Amino acid sequence: MNKRISPQQAAGMIKDGDVVMIGGFLGCGTPEKIIDALVAKGVKDLTLIGNDTGFPEVGIGKLVVTKQFKKIVATHIGTNKETGRQMMAGETEVELVPQGTLAEKIRAGGYGLGGILTATGVGTEVEKGKQVLEVDGKKYLLEKPVRANVALIYADVADEKGNLAYRGATRNFNPLMAAAADLVIVEAKKVVPVGDLDPNAVIVPAAFVNYIVEG
């Protein structure tokens, strides 16, 4: 099966109202070509699950500026003033989640877990509306798993089957998201023939990847 598609074909697989995970950390390890195609397509009412909203002109921030999200679930938004403006104006719902908690909620979604227990947020605004459990005399929040319709992730190198390798900080949320969505599209900086990747360098196995965009 040929998994290679264009950025435009990738964008065409995302529908209005979808829940979309997008990898990256402030634009590092973010699938920029696919994001540009999404901006051009104008898909709307998306729910984002991601570490942050980048900058207005970089990464996820481009989709914020064009108001393509109805809800944003992220760990911080401070580098994108437009996200904050939309939140304060009531134009976009923003749910802030502690970074480690978000990573584990995504992991739980990918691994089929019923949730995770964390002490992070106990006794704070984060606790509101959540179940509190006590284990050995210590209180924990039950954080439920999250999944998405589509995960848009990045890799430094992909082979033609979809095995993925990373360099440095580009790894961030990308491998976690690859397991937590119904459809996974990777934008790879470089695509190589099967067998060119050292098996020990593979972080995401091809079984998780549906399509590849060469970026």
Q: For 201-210, what is each residue's pLDDT tens digit?
A: 999 999 999 9
Residue 215, pLDDT score? 79
For β-strands 69-74 and 46-49, DSSP reports them as parallel
Ranges of residues in the chain with a pLDDT under 70 are none
DSSP 63: H
Helix, strand or coil for residue 100? helix
Domain ranges across the chain: 7-214
Residue 1, pLDDT score? 75
Q: For 69-114, what is each residue's pLDDT tens digit?
A: 999 999 999 999 999 999 999 999 999 999 999 999 999 999 999 9
CATH tag for 7-214 (out of 3.30.70.20, 3.10.620.30, 3.40.1080.10, 3.40.50.720): 3.40.1080.10
Cα separation, 45 vs 50, in Å, equals 16
Cα distances from 128 to residues 131, 134, 165, in angstroms, run 9, 16, 39
Cα separation, 69 vs 186, in Å, equals 21
